[in-house]
Amino acid sequence: GSTLQAAAAETNRYFGTAMAGHYLNNSGTMTIVNREFNMITAENEMKMDATEPSQNQFNFSAGDQIVNWARSNGKQVRGHALAWHSQQPGWMQNMSGANLRNAMLNHVTRVATYYKGKIHSWDVVNEAYADGNSGGRRDSNLQRTGNDWIEAAFRAARAADPGAKLCYNDYNTDNWSHAKTQGVYNMVKDFKARGVPIDCVGFQAHFNSGNPVPSNYHTTLGNFAALGVDVQITELDIQGSGSSQSQQFQGIVQACLSVARCTGITVWGVKDTDSWRASDTPLLFDGSGNKKAAYTGTLNAL
């Protein structure tokens, strides 16, 4: 294949990108999105603060712009994200207890119902595990509603859109030896054992010099897949430039290709200058839309 999506399709995988609403105003960026990618994640426009700015008053206009562009151009959509401790609307941030639990479940139900039939996979719960060595849950207002909040969110999402794949998504879960990775693994194992509806695990894959691509990545992806879930790289970006950056992207591709249930890779934006961490130049295209060494390495590894 001569594009990322075509090369990935040769092994029945997808290659995606995050896109922000402002990409739609930049024809150069959209030419790249349309040519290279066949899975779209809204960078911010489908998050809780965007879709429910006032309690029980939903606004899907920014999300719809992205979803409608994607679908009318033959792309699939990854929904991101139904329940998360971050980017909550102001009204939710100080809620607690049963009120918060019910508000969260209402949000999951209403958003997943609105987009029913249009979403390939939902990030149902994002970033619920703690960094560091505990292997436990992150403290958050949602966690304080009770340890079963994650499975409650998954059950609500399944009921609302039975056709969407339901994923748990997190970062720093790449290295198999990290406690956080083990914590998420044990949750997924428990969910599968008890019939909690989970179909997939997303690995954000935000890497930098202090947090490099682990050499055991294929082990991590393979062990999760062996639990009976698909795995995906969902927000890939890697600090750096030139051949060292390219080799790290190639390592990610090789790890995914080595696991049958690794079904796709999504990068977290198109041009370096549009990245949420632009100073890391972590993407596949430079600010002018030129292909970087990392692009060529990724394409050749697929």
Binding-site ranges for ligand XIL (CB under 6 A): 43-44, 126, 204, 235, 276
Beta partners for residue 16, in sequence order: 39, 266
CB closer to ligand XIL out of 17 and 299: 17
Shortest spacing between CB 178 and ligand XIL, in angstroms: 17
Q: Least separation, in Å, of the C-beta of 231 and ligand XIL?
A: 16
Identify which of residues 44 and 216 has a Cβ nearer to ligand XIL in the complex.
44
Cβ atoms of 153 and 125 within 8 Å: the answer is yes
Give φ, ψ of 12 to 5 degrees.
60, 30
CB-nearest residue to ligand XIL: 276
7 vs 268, beta carbon nearer ligand XIL: 268
- Output the smallest distance, CB 220 to ligand XIL, in A: 18
43 has catalytic annotation:
no
Smallest distance from ligand XIL to CB 55, Å: 22
Catalytic residue, chosen from 36, 52, 151, 235, is 235
Tokens representing residue 82 in the block: 């139904």
Q: For Cα atoms 248, 185, 179, give the angle at the middle one, nearest 5 degrees.
A: 70
Do residues 51 and 111 lie in contact, with contact meaning Cβ atoms separated by under 8 Å? yes
Are 256 and 262 contacting, i.e. CB atoms less than 8 angstroms apart?
yes
Nearer to ligand XIL, 65 or 247 (CB): 65
What kind and span of H or E run contains 251?
helix 242-257
DSSP conformation letters of 197-241: ---EEEE--EEBTTBPPPTTHHHHHHHHHTTT-EEEEEEEEE---
Q: Could you list the active site residues?
A: 235
